[in-house]
Structure 1
Amino acid sequence: MYQHTRLSNNNFGFFQKFKNFDYILLSCILLLGFISLATMYSTDGGKILFHTKSHFTKLITFTIMMIIISFINIKFWFSIGYLSYLAVVGLLIWTFLFGITSSGSQRWIDLYFINLQPSELMKIFIILCLAKYFHRMKLENVNSIYTILTSLIIILLPMGLVIVQPDLGTSLLIAISGIAVLWFAGINNRYFIYTMLGFVISLPFIIAFLKPYQKLRVLTFLNPDRDPLGAGYQIIQSKIAVGSGGIFGKGFLKGTQSYLEFLPEKHTDFIFTLFSEEFGFVGSVILLLIYAIIIYRIIAIGASSRSFFGKIFCYSFGAAIFVYITINMSMVLGLLPIVGSPLPIMSYGGSSMLATMIGFGIVMSARVHNQQAIA
């Protein structure tokens, strides 16, 4: 009798977790995954080639992983906040010492089944770490010099390890993820204003220390036509492809800029260019609407969470996703310099998708266990 009752309670708990799932968020993630797979199929010329197969495998694997993470109690993610951050810092140090070098950058670790880019994971685990740091903090201590300096060390350490790879774009995205937590934790606005003013004032000095290819990206952003067949080629072709899509696009598998190989690297950071050419303004708006619903649901989950840790993680992760989307689309439209900013789930890349799905899994864990308070 006792055993039967215990089994029934366990079953209720299991089914209750399924009931607590945010099925709107899950449906949008699956829909976005399907769109990304179709777009990747298009980048392979309408054939099931390497990028399509690899993207499909990673999409299925990481989606299952996200669902598994969702069932894990939010208290567990709170408990490993510091440890996970230190583990990724260790991976960044390992990358610096023994990482794989490609195209002049040393960013990856060969794990045989995947070339892991630890800097992508840091985008998520820096949020986890800082969310735990501010969870129990009294409001009067949030703006103390000790708290701010500690937060800056947590942000600047991985930034420095990523900058030396070199990967300035990802280091800035890591900083944005960390700063988002500080904002939602209640750091006084004047610190953000002072930081922004300091950044603007020091910008000429920062540019002076940039590597030649990084300076070239800035100059190309300011005037792409200065080298239309060299540094400016990618962004010029990207804008042509987006513009040629018109209102309704050229149709699936009919993107001339992409199929005639005018657009290099179309499967990675410039995936939105191919999508926009084939599906036009209407398709692009629908894609943005899916992203908007995802961000809204993340924020709504944060609002319903009983724990401050859950709230601050969801708010910060939602803000980070918004920034990643904005930077990627602004980059391919020529509104920002080209940086390494993949479009979440859409772009080809295992590390980026892995990090994003871990983030979604933790958000869903906050939803499944939304009545779980963390002391």
Structure 2
Amino acid sequence: MFHFDRRLLQNFDWVMLMMLFIVATLSFINLYSSTYIPEKGASQIFYKQLLFFTFGLATMLLILFHDYHKVIKLSYALYAAILLLLLYTLLFVNPISGAQRWIDLGFFNLQPSEPAKLSLILVLAACFAKTDAPGGYRLRDLIKPGILIALPFVLILKQPDLGTALICCILFVSMTLYVRLRWTTLVILGSMAIGSVVFAWKFLLKDYQRQRIETFLNPEADIMNHGYQIEQSKIAVGSGKMFGKGFLDGTQGHLQFLPEKHTDFAFAIWAEEWGFAGSLFLLSCYFFLLIWGLNVAMSAKDKLGSILAFGCVALIFWQALINLFMIMGFLPVVGVPLPIFSYGGSSLLTTMAAIGLIMNVRMRSFPVQGGQQ
């Protein structure tokens, strides 16, 4: 006979859900403004993002219905499917602006590199949870996780999508440090990382990717070309001052000075229209969401839940940090979206699925009675 454990409802993470809705509401206000059409109002982009958000809620609900131990059993199947999609984009998808990143599904352009980040978290969590290393992980313990990260990294870098490829590497490093390494392993990996950066600069990065980094170091040297985005973004952020120019009154975005204003540079529009006060409120919401997610990771009932929740928190944190630093000119433009806030169906669905996994771990932070789901 089917039984339902009421503790699942008692432990439902209303706080995480509330923070998601607050950030999403702010993002829709910003998207409405950044894509506003005079005399018409909301754009099709705005309505598409609403639809994506609805699909995201359905995805979260589906994830919450299943214990994360069951979800993790599908991790390698999902990982393999994502690798096939990434391979498909390289072999059969026509380039858009020199990049092969999107699969046209008719009603939706799927970007496989976005769910690839989540699939990587799942397989790494499954891998680390099964490996016991009381004294810390040795170098040979990282061979399998290293292969798991290398395959999507290479395929994503070939698209080319440097930003997402770097996020995959950062996720691997973050989760590896979380499960604890031996000092000798840490020194060896650090040395390898330095060598990899030098090798990548000389042999892997394309000319435009090197140009972005050089522009970051000296944006004034090419202000009308490669440095244009960074300069316009900094102008937008600074011109907001304390309380901003007001809703729909931003000039950098509405006068078309700022490219990619609803995707990678969405926060610049928000800062211009709502100022330092509005930016501080938005960042406080992100901070609280991340701190709450870390609390879920620390209070998980087992190693798998802890690693899984931490990986999802790391995904949101690093993307947010890189995007914000990019907008303010502290990092080169690498095309990393601000989670939940930037326009993009693949990114939004991936982030909401990650939040669903954190909530899943929270709901099951206490042992569920045998046979009850």
Deviation by residue 1:74-119 (Cα, 9 ceiling, x = unmatched): 1211211222212211211122212242110001122223211111
CA 22–237 in structure 1, closer or farther in 2 if over 3 Å, else same: same
- Partners of 2:94 and 2:29 in 1: CA distance: 30
Partner residue in 2 for 1:246: 241
CA 257–190 in structure 1, closer or farther in 2 if over 3 Å, else same: farther
Is the Cα–Cα contact under 8 Å of residues 184 and 316 in structure 1 kept in the other structure? no
Partner residue in 1 for 2:230: 235
- Partners of 1:265 and 1:174 in 2: CA distance: 23
| 1:361 equivalent in alignment to 2:356 | yes
Following superposition, the deviation at residue 197 of structure 1 comes to 3.6
Amino acid at match of 1:368: M
Partner residue in 1 for 2:344: 349
Is the Cα–Cα contact under 8 Å of residues 250 and 273 in structure 2 kept in the other structure? yes
Following superposition, the deviation at residue 195 of structure 1 comes to 3.0
Partner residue in 2 for 1:138: 132
After the TM superposition, which of the residue ranges 81-90 and 239-248 deviates more from structure 2?
A: 81-90
2:27 to 24, 36, 47: 36
Following superposition, the deviation at residue 140 of structure 1 comes to 4.5
Higher helix share: 1
Deviation by residue 1:32-80 (Cα, 9 ceiling, x = unmatched): 1111111100011262112111111111221232123112111211211
Where 1:105 maps in the other structure, the secondary structure is coil
Is the Cα–Cα contact under 8 Å of residues 100 and 107 in structure 1 kept in the other structure? no
Partner residue in 2 for 1:338: 333
Following superposition, the deviation at residue 25 of structure 1 comes to 0.8
Partner residue in 1 for 2:215: 220
After the TM superposition, which of the residue ranges 117-126 and 45-54 deviates more from structure 2?
A: 45-54
- Partners of 2:104 and 2:187 in 1: CA distance: 41
Deviation by residue 1:258-297 (Cα, 9 ceiling, x = unmatched): 1111111100010000001011111111111111111111
Structural RMSD (CA): 1.8
Residue correspondence of structure 1 range 1-375 to structure 2 within 5 A: 9-10=3-4, 13=5, 16-45=7-36, 47-140=41-134, 143-201=137-195, 203-209=197-203, 210-372=205-367
After the TM superposition, which of the residue ranges 175-184 and 203-212 deviates more from structure 2?
A: 203-212
Query: Structure 1 vs Structure 2: percent identity of aligned residues?
Result: 38
- Partners of 1:309 and 1:339 in 2: CA distance: 32
- Partners of 2:135 and 2:146 in 1: CA distance: 15
- Partners of 1:71 and 1:179 in 2: CA distance: 30
Deviation by residue 1:228-283 (Cα, 9 ceiling, x = unmatched): 11111111000000000001111111111111111111000100000010111111
Is the Cα–Cα contact under 8 Å of residues 137 and 185 in structure 2 kept in the other structure? no
Where 2:106 maps in the other structure, the secondary structure is coil
Where 2:343 maps in the other structure, the secondary structure is coil
Following superposition, the deviation at residue 194 of structure 1 comes to 3.5
After the TM superposition, which of the residue ranges 77-86 and 29-38 deviates more from structure 2?
A: 77-86
CA 261–316 in structure 1, closer or farther in 2 if over 3 Å, else same: same
- Partners of 2:288 and 2:61 in 1: CA distance: 19
CA 237–190 in structure 1, closer or farther in 2 if over 3 Å, else same: farther
- Partners of 1:327 and 1:39 in 2: CA distance: 20
CA 89–189 in structure 1, closer or farther in 2 if over 3 Å, else same: farther
Unaligned runs of 5+ in 2: 369-373
CA 306–100 in structure 1, closer or farther in 2 if over 3 Å, else same: farther
Partner residue in 1 for 2:371: none
Is the Cα–Cα contact under 8 Å of residues 175 and 311 in structure 2 kept in the other structure? yes
Following superposition, the deviation at residue 187 of structure 1 comes to 2.1
- Partners of 1:69 and 1:262 in 2: CA distance: 41
Is the Cα–Cα contact under 8 Å of residues 25 and 293 in structure 1 kept in the other structure? no
Where 2:101 maps in the other structure, the secondary structure is strand
Deviation by residue 1:310-342 (Cα, 9 ceiling, x = unmatched): 101111221221111110000010000100100
Unaligned runs of 5+ in 1: 1-5
Is the Cα–Cα contact under 8 Å of residues 139 and 185 in structure 2 kept in the other structure? no
Aligned residues: 364
Where 1:269 maps in the other structure, the secondary structure is coil
- Partners of 1:299 and 1:213 in 2: CA distance: 37
CA 364–217 in structure 1, closer or farther in 2 if over 3 Å, else same: same
